[in-house]
Chain A
Amino acid sequence: MPILVNRETKVVVQGITGREGSFQTRRCIEYGTKVVAGVTPGRGGEEMDGVPVFDTVRQAVASTGADCSLIFVPAAAAADAILEAAYAEVPLIVCITEGIPVVDMVRVKRYLRGSGIRLIGPNCPGVITPGQCRVGIMPGDVFSPGPVGVISRSGTLVYEAVAQLTSRGIGQSTCVGVGGDPVIGTAPVEVLRLFNEDPDTKAVVLIGEIGGTAEQEAAAYMASEMTKPVIAFIAGATAPPGRRMGHAGAIIVGEAATAQAKKEALARAGAVIVDSPADIGAATERVLRERGLL
């Protein structure tokens, strides 16, 4: 059973009638994802490509039994959308939206604490279990089923890493974009734990970046618990300090936030560090062969 999403996952899309929401919903359905409902306030009773649209998440869940929400709502209303899904007790919420104010996410995260509801994102590409379920915006055809779990703070670097894996015949168990914001629902270390406990995952590719201490938290967990090989790349070795590099969370403030500090922490915890983003696939293949996992 893959982590987070699988072929049984029933998805409600919040913001389904918007431009990106509708385009990406169609891609999800083409991929095989069970999209059972959409939500757009004021458009209840309509349909989009045969998917029933509701005014509220609560109505959508009551009629369809949706157990995962995919959010495309614009930044100013996104925190409200996440909280609406949480109030409707949707157990897994995946928020793609970029640009949500940090103060809004602080309140959302506080509300979710202890609720048992898992939020992935925001500012992320979503979650995909190749061959089963795509809850996000990633190009489905570069993914393939297999034994490697992928965790990334960046969306496009998931695609980059996965394309390298797939072209070498190495498939993925599940790929999780945790998001590029300073405050996110699920930290890389939590996904690392899920992969460590997942029998279908043999190795993990961890893609971090400058800013914050998420990689150090992952390293601390790895050192004591991780039983599977981890291959890590940290983006931003050449980024100047004090400048925000696109992602709101990608800014070097203090020594711990540098790529070098993160690489050192992960290396000490036993990760295989890849310096060039072009070598992620090759390094993973080498590790899998060395450990007799391929």
Chain B
Amino acid sequence: MKVHEFQAKQLLQEYGVPVPNGRVAQSPAEAEAIARELGVPVAVKAQIHAGGRGKAGGIRLASSPEEARDAAAQILGRRLVTHQTGPEGRLVRSVLVEEAVRPARELYLAVVVENALGLPVMMASDAGGVDIEEVAAATPERIHRLPVDPAIGFQPFMGRELGLAIGLGGELLRQGVQAMAGLYRLFVEKDCSLAEINPLVVTEDGRLLAADAKVNFDDNALFRHPEVQALRDPHEEDPLEVQAQQMGINNYVRLTGNIGCVVNGAGLAMATMDAIKLAGGDPANFLDIGTVNNVERVVNSFRILTSDEQVRAILINIFGGMARVDVIAEGVVRAFQEMDVRVPVVVRLAGTNVEAGERILAESGLPVVRAKDLGEAAQKAVAAARGEL
């Protein structure tokens, strides 16, 4: 789960990482009032869940409260298109108005779990303010990494080593160690999947400030963080994905093609998309129906796919393990009873209780197209989407 920059900064502040003074505004008048209160100059920053805002015109400097109002008026209500939003862009509903910082230097700090080690890693670089992937590709020696043993947590000596490596000294080193310790504690205590400060600026007057921040959360741990769930902004998510989640379908990702997919298991769901593409088609979504044996969930999957206007055909590919094929088949029958399914449906069933599942579909007399294996299922779905079946 992602949150906005202003929410990430509030969390950082709770954990003792200094951030610029600022508040969020929903209207130009509010932005003006905040600028007046903070003192100018201020930065007015579009709050959307995507990077690349500066280049897209979503971040403006204002040297008077009136300029802050005008900047907010230009950004709010606009669809901001960045390299991360796709061509449709994202509607800006709020702006962060904060004191403009004058950076003498721009640094980088982040905590992520490195899968291969199975440990959180503190990353630090003196090449802040740019995409860290670019730094990693061009000058990997400028990224310093230290794995943290969860048994002892982040220790001050680790902060000193990393701080010195990115050129901090004296009072700034002390501040840097404190920022790293806070960032690590935030990562662990709030179950983050990423806690990143980019840039961490050294101001002209010798302070460290998190000028921009990105905090993502581990979806698996949201159950124990109602306070994090409360930060969710449904406006930032695809409406069909939000609807799917409300129906208990957590693993639905909308894509741009026209073949709707209902599959059990994440790997098979990805592989089904790959097979469709190789057969000349284009998947409309990723959907892992999961292993909960629940007829209603199958019906709800149909509900989501049939309300996606792009979808020209539906492919159901089930290889039962923990999921039972007969339950899925019952769900398909029920879906046809409860809604008007106007697109062709291709079904491939295999695995646990497949005989019972086959029988249920056969006895239903539904106009579904049967496929004996994955290859045939993909080919038939592609043909069906073209109206050739």
Contacts and interface: CB of A to CB of B under 8 A. Distances in A.
Interface of A: 20, 24, 75-76, 96, 98-107, 109-110, 125, 137-139, 142, 152-157, 159-160, 163-164, 180, 182-183, 187, 207, 209-214, 217, 233, 235-240, 242-250, 254-255, 259, 275-279
A236 to B, nearest CB: 4
A139 B320 contact: yes
Interface stretch (B21-29, B329-337, B373-381): B373-381
Contacts of B133: 254-255
A180 to B, nearest CB: 6
A76 B224 contact: yes
A107 B352 CA distance: 35
Given A238-B283, A277-B272, 17 more contacts: A125-B322, A137-B321, A139-B319, A153-B267, A157-B268, A237-B277, A244-B253, A245-B288, A246-B270, A246-B288, A248-B218, A250-B267, A275-B278, A276-B274, A276-B275, A277-B275, A278-B373
Contacts of B288: 245-246
A259 B188 CA distance: 30
Nearest to B51: A242
A43 B113 CA distance: 37
Interface string B110-137: 0001011011100000000000010011
CB-CB nearest 6 A-B residue pairs? A154-B267, A246-B266, A156-B265, A278-B375, A101-B221, A156-B268
Contacts of B286: 239, 243, 245-246
Contacts of A142: 350-351
Q: How large is the interface on B (under 10, 10 to 19, 20 to 34, 35 or more residues)?
A: 35 or more
A125 B267 CA distance: 12
Contacts of A207: 267
Contact of B270 (A99, A159, A250, A279): A250
B220 A276 contact: no
Contacts, number: 187
A183 to B, nearest CB: 5
B191 A101 contact: yes
Given A106-B119, A212-B115, A233 B251 contact: no
A39 B267 CA distance: 30
B191 A125 contact: no
B267 A157 contact: yes
A238 B268 contact: no
A209 B116 CA distance: 15
A125 B264 CA distance: 13
B268 A249 contact: no
Interface string B136-168: 110000000000011100000000000000000
18 contacts: A102-B221, A106-B150, A110-B149, A139-B321, A156-B265, A156-B268, A160-B374, A180-B266, A180-B267, A182-B113, A213-B116, A214-B115, A214-B116, A243-B286, A246-B265, A248-B218, A254-B133, A277-B274
Contact of B118 (A100, A110, A242): A110
A106 B219 CA distance: 16
Given A182-B113, A250-B270, A105 B277 contact: no
B321 A156 contact: yes
A107 B267 CA distance: 26
Contacts of B267: 152-157, 180, 207, 209, 235, 247, 250
Contact of B115 (A100, A103, A249, A259): A249
Nearest to A163: B350
A293 B136 CA distance: 44
Contact of B378 (A243, A250, A278): A278
A249 B275 CA distance: 21
A113 to B, nearest CB: 8
A217 B270 contact: no
B273 interface: yes
Contacts of A157: 265, 267-268, 271
B193 interface: yes
Contact of B319 (A110, A159, A250): A159
B366 interface: no
Contacts of B271: 154, 157, 160, 233, 235, 277
A276 B322 CA distance: 24
Nearest to A212: B115
Nearest to B194: A253
B218 to A, nearest CB: 5
B115 A155 contact: no
Contacts of A110: 118-119, 149-151
Question: Most B CB atoms within 10 A — which of A98, A103, A104, A154?
Answer: A103
B270 A163 contact: no
